[in-house]
């Protein structure tokens, strides 16, 4: 629950009323997605000359870790100490060969609710064989409150002057394109819905916004926290600032919310009733040598941090 500018609280994350609903069928509401969040083309990649075949679970692609990805497992949960708030540590070990990914992978994800109204998510993973990893959180937000209707009036700013255009299979073409002069440009605060119906090929291919943005960093080699996105809901004044150590963020305008999920407050969610800001490495990186690498090798530790900070304006 997050207060608005008058102090009235609302639940700003889409979800279900019961735990059973999540188990039955969820479009990744609030989920940790992995081992590889987002898409791998044709569920196929080669690593060190070895071919790996994953299940194709979304059109022609592997999406969000496969048929039984990280979102569909029950994780071990423990309360843990944090100097700046309260924390929950989630952990599980993904076995070697799970969903055909190589390597045993112990994973730890710590959620900290800080005194500053931030939700900080720290990810950590290791492996015993060379593998790929890309973890994110797939929360859908509606800063007016879940179940209150469309998010098209939210004003969004993305700290990204470039993005990765997609083909008709929603796979990046490999090109890194400038957003300038297109409806993809959120470098200045703009309503999500302002241009979503423009006749622009990328919006047709994504059925709206469903694109990876390349975050601007003063030093491209720096992987410290950077502000990736700011979303404001004008009526309530609620503001969500997303900071991350990741190189990219998938901005998804809830295009495939079908109108058949009944949410936490027993209201039906329809297309664009929520949006996601999935901090991540770029989609299909295992097949794109020009994208930042998602390879993890024995002896290395994967680390990633994302902060969702709430305030009002």
Residues that bind ligand BGC (CB under 6 A): 27-28, 38, 210, 250, 252, 256, 278
Smallest gap from residue 221 Cβ to ligand BGC (A): 27
C-alpha pair distances (Å), 239 with each of 3, 118, 141, 294:
10, 11, 11, 31
Smallest gap from residue 63 Cβ to ligand BGC (A): 6
CA separation for the pair 31, 74 (Å, rounded): 11
Minimal CA–CA distance to 148: which of 77, 235, 211, 208? 235
Catalytic residues, by residue number, are: 138, 278
Q: Are strands 131-132 and 177-178 parallel, antiparallel or unpaired?
A: unpaired
CA separation for the pair 121, 123 (Å, rounded): 7
Cβ closest to ligand BGC, residue 252 vs residue 282: 252
Cβ closest to ligand BGC, residue 12 vs residue 37: 37
The distance of Cα 213 from the centroid of its chain, to the nearest Å, equals 11
Minimal CA–CA distance to 174: which of 140, 212, 138? 212
Smallest gap from residue 38 Cβ to ligand BGC (A): 6
Smallest gap from residue 27 Cβ to ligand BGC (A): 5
DSSP 82: E
* Residue with the CB atom nearest ligand BGC in the bound state: 256
Q: Which residues pair with 168 in a beta bridge?
A: none
Cβ closest to ligand BGC, residue 110 vs residue 280: 280
Query: What contacts 200, CB < 8 A, 6 or more positions away?
Result: 182, 183, 184
Cβ closest to ligand BGC, residue 15 vs residue 102: 15
Q: From start to end of 95-209, where are the E strands?
A: 105-114, 118-125, 131-132, 136-137, 140-141, 155-158, 162-164, 177-178, 190-191
Cβ closest to ligand BGC, residue 110 vs residue 134: 134
182: left (phi over 0), alpha (psi -120 to 50) or beta: beta
Smallest gap from residue 99 Cβ to ligand BGC (A): 16
Smallest gap from residue 297 Cβ to ligand BGC (A): 26
Cβ closest to ligand BGC, residue 148 vs residue 253: 253
């Amino acid at each position: 629950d997050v207060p608005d500018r008058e102090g009235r609280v609302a639940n700003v994350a889409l979800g279900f009323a019961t735990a059973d609903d999540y188990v039955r069928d969820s479009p990744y509401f609030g989920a940790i997605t992995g081992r590889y969040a987002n898409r791998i083309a044709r569920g196929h990649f080669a690593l060190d000359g070895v071919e790996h075949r994953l299940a194709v679970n979304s059109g022609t692609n592997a999406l969000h870790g496969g048929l039984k990805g990280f979102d569909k497992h029950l994780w071990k949960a423990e309360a843990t100490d944090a100097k700046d708030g309260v924390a929950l540590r989630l952990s599980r070990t993904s076995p070697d060969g799970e969903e055909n990914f190589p390597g045993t992978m112990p994973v730890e994800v710590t959620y900290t609710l800080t005194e500053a109204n931030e939700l900080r998510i720290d990810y950590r993973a290791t492996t015993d064989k060379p593998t790929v990893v890309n973890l994110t959180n797939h929360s859908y937000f509606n800063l007016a409150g879940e179940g209150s209707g469309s998010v098209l009036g939210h004003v969004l700013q993305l700290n990204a002057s470039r993005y990765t255009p997609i083909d008709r299979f929603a796979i990046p073409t490999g090109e890194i394109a400038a957003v300038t002069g297109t409806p993809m440009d959120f470098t200045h605060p703009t309503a999500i819905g302002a241009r979503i119906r423009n006749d622009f090929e990328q919006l047709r291919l994504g059925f709206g916004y469903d694109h990876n943005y390349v975050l601007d960093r003063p030093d491209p080699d720096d992987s410290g926290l950077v502000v990736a996105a700011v979303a404001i809901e004008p009526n309530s004044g609620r503001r969500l600032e997303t900071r991350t150590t990741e190189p990219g963020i998938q901005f998804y305008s809830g295009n495939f919310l079908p109108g058949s999920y009944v949410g936490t407050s027993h209201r039906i969610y329809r297309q664009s009733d929520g949006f996601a800001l999935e901090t991540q490495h770029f989609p299909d990186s295992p097949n794109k040598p020009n994208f930042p690498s998602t390879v993890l090798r024995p002896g290395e530790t994967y680390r990633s941090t994302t902060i969702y900070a709430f305030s009002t304006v």
